[in-house]
Amino acid sequence: MTDKKYTHETVTEINEWVPGKLFSISTTRHPDFQFEPGQFARIGLPADHDPLAEPSIWRAYSMVSTPQDDFLSFYSIVVPEGEFSPRLAQLKVGDPIYIDKTAFGFLTIERFPQGGTLWLLATGTGLSAYISMLNSPATWERFDKVILAHGVRFCEELTYQDEIAKWQQQFGERFVYLALPTREAYKNHPQERLTTLISNGKLEQLSNIKLDPEQSRIMLCGNPDMLSEARKILGEKGFATGRRGIPGNLAVENYW
Ligand SMILES: Cc1cc2nc3c(=O)[nH]c(=O)nc-3n(C[C@H](O)[C@H](O)[C@H](O)COP(=O)(O)OP(=O)(O)OC[C@H]3O[C@@H](n4cnc5c(N)ncnc54)[C@H](O)[C@@H]3O)c2cc1C
Ligand SMILES: NC(=O)c1ccc[n+]([C@@H]2O[C@H](COP(=O)([O-])OP(=O)(O)OC[C@H]3O[C@@H](n4cnc5c(N)ncnc54)[C@H](OP(=O)(O)O)[C@@H]3O)[C@@H](O)[C@H]2O)c1
């Protein structure tokens, strides 16, 4: 019999942030499953509703938990017409879930040279990968300052506020958080897309720091249209992904 490519895990916790739309799910973690903050797992579920059947649908999910945690945690949207996410959302504590033995992805801080400012720009559940990074001491050792900008449609989607408040308390001026709902007003924040805020210079104004290709290291995560538009705008400002051993100042992860 060939060795399976995945391990059988168990759901240990579910937290519904926005009923029917956003939730977090935690599972047991196989001790051999290793990853870096920013990487993603492939989660498997049986295609039919027999919980004992072999997993046959797989989707990528960034780890929210850190490599130090003895569990895995993920942050998910419910795509009502999707095949996977509505089923993931229906799981209960104690249910089986499958995790590919390999972690994937290159959205990791080792991509960037030491020092300068780390810009973590996300739309929607693209926030997932950054929670793990922000909870990892190595991120704060590597960069002088971290800007987290989270673009969402509505205020209720500004999740993980307790963690964000914790980093604000712990790191003071080294951490800037920009909450950016686009479809309703939020405090005195601009109601504009991340891409617009990069173009019109307001992202720099709000963070009180320049987007400087020498000192800024930018990550983009989430909606692929945002990624391609932001890449174009940032490309004109001197930002590019690394290649052939040359470290870049831009790293991206498409979610679909
Ligand atoms: C590298 C990588 C990491 C990912 N990490 C996460 C994560 O941490 N959390 C998460 O919720 N999803 C994540 N995704 C997306 C996830 O793999 C699934 O696509 C998603 O859960 C929907 O699955 P589905 O089968 O229900 O719908 P699918 O058939 O996979 O997608 C249908 C449509 O739903 C929309 N969609 C898919 N994912 C999202 C999303 N996250 N936000 C908004 N709209 C979406 C797109 O329009 C897509 O075409 C990641 C994807 C990749 C490639
Ligand atoms: N279960 C439910 O009840 C429910 C309800 C609604 C949606 N959904 C699911 O959620 C999905 C949408 O998820 P989401 O709101 O997290 O993702 P999203 O559509 O990517 O929106 C998140 C943020 O990204 C912005 N954005 C979108 N395209 C952009 C671009 N090209 N450049 C810059 N910014 C951009 C949006 O701005 P704008 O506001 O300007 O677009 C918004 O601020 C839908 O596909 C649907 O399947 C589920």
Token pair in block for residue 197: 């805020």
Q: 52 near 111, Cβ under 8 Å?
A: no
DSSP 41-77: EEEEE-SSS-TTSPP-EEEEEE--S-TTSSEEEEEEE
Q: Ligand 1 pocket, 31 CB below 6 A?
A: no
Q: Please work out whether the CB of residue 75 comes within 6 Å of at least one atom of ligand 1.
A: yes
Q: What is the pLDDT of residues 187-220, one digit of tens each?
A: 989 999 999 999 999 999 999 999 999 999 999 9
Homologous superfamily of 6-100: Translation factors (2.40.30.10)
Per-residue pLDDT tens for 39-71? 999 999 987 767 678 899 999 999 999 999 999
Model pTM score: 0.97
Q: What confidence score (pLDDT) does residue 65 get? A: 98
**CATH topology (fold) of 109-254:** Rossmann fold (3.40.50)
Is the distance from the beta carbon of residue 85 to the nearest atom of ligand 2 less than 6 Å? no
DSSP designation for 4 = P
* Residue located via tokens 């920013």: 38
Q: Assess whether the C-beta atom of 228 lies below 6 angstroms from ligand 2.
A: no
CA-nearest residue, atom 37 of ligand 1 = 256
Task: Select from 115, 131, 159, 117 the least CA-distant residue to 39.
Answer: 131
The pLDDT value recorded for residue 247 is 84
**Domain limits, CATH 3.40.50.80, in the chain:** 109-254
CB distance 35 to ligand 1 below 6 Å: no
Q: How far apart are CA 223 and CA 135, in angstroms?
A: 23
Q: Model confidence over 77-133: pLDDT tens digits?
A: 999 999 999 999 999 999 999 999 999 999 999 999 999 999 999 999 999 999 999
Which residues of the chain form CATH 2.40.30.10? 6-100
Q: Which ligand is nearest to the CA of 190?
A: 2
Contacts 24+ apart (CB under 8 A), 50-57: 51/95, 51/96, 52/96, 55/6, 55/98, 57/83, 57/84, 57/87
